[in-house]
Structure formats: C-alpha cells, structure tokens
Amino acid sequence: MYTLQSVPTPCYVIDEAALVRNLQILQGVEKRTGAKILLAQKCFSNFALYPLIGKYISGTTASGLFEAKLGAEEMQKENHVFSPAFRAEEFEEICSICDHIVFNSFAQKDKWIKTAQKYGVSCGIRINPECSTQQGHAIYDPCAPGSRLGVTLENFREDDLDGVEGLHFHTLCEQNSDDLKTTLAAVEEKFGKYLYGMKWLNFGGGHHITRSDYDLRTLEECILHVRQKYGVEVYLEPGEAVALNAGYLATTVLEVVHNGIDIALLDTSAACHMPDVLEMPYRPPLCGAGEKGEKPYTYRLSSCTCLAGDVIGDYSFDAPLQEGDRLYFQDMAIYSMVKNNTFNGMPLPSIALLKEDGSCRILKRFSYADFKGRLG
C-alpha cells in the first residue's frame, strides 16, 4: 500500500475526501433548489469514481458517443449529450443510451429529431445568448464573434420548435454566479418567451460552485427564479466544480541544470501531462513552494521533452532542489487525465486514489504498449 509520499512518479493522485467535499456542496444545491447537476465528463472521466459521484449528483453529460457510453456504463443515471454535429453511424446508439440530446442548430434538430423521438429521448437546442462575460480567454468564450456554438437569436426559428423540450446555454468558464445572473438576464430577454412551453433549461458548465469564494446564494436564486417563472427543470453540468482541487500530480526531480537561472528537470511535462498549463495558460499551485523569489531558492520547473517552451513555471523553495526530490502539483484532477498525450514518447502518469485514511491505491499504470498501441 502506498501513500501520496511514496507512489511511483509521475502519478496523478485523486483525493477522494476533497472530491466528496465538492460533491456535498453540489448535492446541497440540488436539495435546496431541485436543480439537477450532471458531471461534464470531458473534464474528469475517472470512472472508478463514478459510483461515488452518482451518490451525490444526478448523472453525466457527454460530448459524443464515447463519453455517453462511459456515463451509461459506469454511472447509470441521467445521461445527456451535446455535440455541434452528430454522425449518422453513431446516432442510433447515442439515442439508445441517452435520455437528453442537445442540438447545436435547427438543421441538426431537423435531421435527427424523428430518430431521437423514436427512442423517447428529450430533445433540446443550444442557444447562444451573445453575452460575453469573460475577459482574456477568448478560446473559452462561446459567445465570441463567429462562434459555432449555439443558435443566435437571429438564427432562431420560432416556428420550428415542434418536439423541442428544452434549451441549453453554456457560456461560462471558471466564473462566479454574478456572471451567471448577467447571462441569464440575456437568455431571458432573448429566448424567455419560448421557455414557457418547454420542460427544461440547462445552464451548461463553467460554474465554479465549489471554489471558496463562490456565491451560492445568487446561483440558487437564479435556479429558483427559472423554475418558478417558467415551470421548467433546471440542469447544471459543471466539470471543474466536481473535481476542483481534488487531485495532485506527483513528480520527481531528475536533474538540475543552470543557464543564468536554475532549472529543474522533472519526470512530468506541461505539454504532455498538464496541457492546460500551456493552452490556457496558467501556473499550477505546487505544495510547499512560493512565487519566484519569494523563498530563497528559485527554480524554473521543466521537463524532458524537446519543446523549449515546455515550462510549468518558476517556483521558489526553502532548500535547494536535488535529484530525487518529490514535488506535488495541485488541482490536477481536472482537464489533465482526459487531455494528456505521449508526445516525445513520454510515459503517461499512473493514476492513483488517495483515500481519507491517507492510503493510496494505484488504479492504473501505463506502459510502452499504451504508447505503441495508439499508433498502429
């Protein structure tokens, strides 16, 4: 039996107690408001935890057939799916395992709704309220000009809503409920009149509900307002909020090199194992470390890939780093295991589960076969 301090590195370590704390908050929202909360699997798909997650929230949502299958097999609760466009060879299987399907256009809705209805699936349309509430991260803004995501008011066909039982919007990313309130006002102004005849409204994801400064009260007021005014079910489909701060990436220092600065080479990689660090970009928190220059010994933490920019960030420490030292990046359960890759033939980190009693169980190890097998 391992502990966090002894798991072989690199290793993602899912923190079960932290996950449960998040789930209790989400369950509280469900209980107080009657809203249904779904896990957005694209953020976190470690299905070993699905039975636990399913004890607290209402189900899963998927971006296509594979995630939908995973939700159906491993959570077995409500199973929703959204995709900008569905494929003919997959659509009937999707209908057989999903209870809600969200279409991204009236053309998609017209193409598929008869098939979906044959399977008793509840169909909805994703709308684009054209209300940007986030600055800085244009690639995360579905309301940006030219967006392919959701039907704008201009393209909305009010005479083509036969069989449409719900609307869906997803415009937030790591945001608080003040931005939800702003967005909801835009949704109601543009599309509110269509909601009266419908069964549900899905608020999408991007709600940072489990962050310590999140204003739950405003969220709950938004939900109750919609339920009362329009008589519809409300769904939320957070990814991050489910597993926020609920995992580590454990890594080992392999070597230290110097070129004007001190650079520690780790057995992990931003490009391969935490791609959002480069893509978003952001600086992941690291246990026991400070900002650059804050503690006496500053290092640039980097990896063994060939990519010069494969840098996790600059961090400072109380003591010099040495070969064999172990480091623990925080908040590594989300958008990590679902996005990693084997560029440069880098080994994939193992996946472990840290239990409340401090013991760590390895859920999965990867090998050369996982690298080779994906390539031919």
Ligand X SMILES: *Cc1c(COP(=O)(O)O)cnc(C)c1O
Which of 128/303 has CB closer to ligand X? 128
Q: What residues line the site for ligand X (CB under 6 A)?
A: 40, 42-43, 82, 170, 173, 204-206, 237-241
Which of 95/241 has CB closer to ligand X? 241
Q: What is the rounded CA–CA span in Å between residue 252 and residue 361?
A: 19
Report whether 84 contacts 49 (CB < 8 A).
no
Q: How far is CA 207 from CA 102, 161, 316, in A?
A: 19, 28, 32
Q: What is the rounded CA–CA span in Å between residue 237 and residue 232?
A: 16
Shortest Cβ 136–ligand X spacing (Å): 15
Which of 42/300 has CB closer to ligand X? 42
Which of 223/241 has CB closer to ligand X? 241
Residue position matching structure tokens 């976190």:
44
Contacts of 97 (CB under 8 A, 6+ apart): 68, 69, 71, 72, 79
Shortest Cβ 296–ligand X spacing (Å): 37
Which of 9/45 has CB closer to ligand X? 45
First to last CA, the chain: 35
Q: What is the rounded CA–CA span in Å between residue 75 and residue 131?
A: 33
Residue position matching structure tokens 């017209």:
110
How many residues comprise the chain? 376
Shortest Cβ 298–ligand X spacing (Å): 32
Shortest Cβ 241–ligand X spacing (Å): 6
Shortest Cβ 224–ligand X spacing (Å): 21
Q: What is the rounded CA–CA span in Å between residue 292 and residue 313?
A: 9
Which of 206/347 has CB closer to ligand X? 206
Shortest Cβ 103–ligand X spacing (Å): 12
Report whether 285 contacts 312 (CB < 8 A).
no
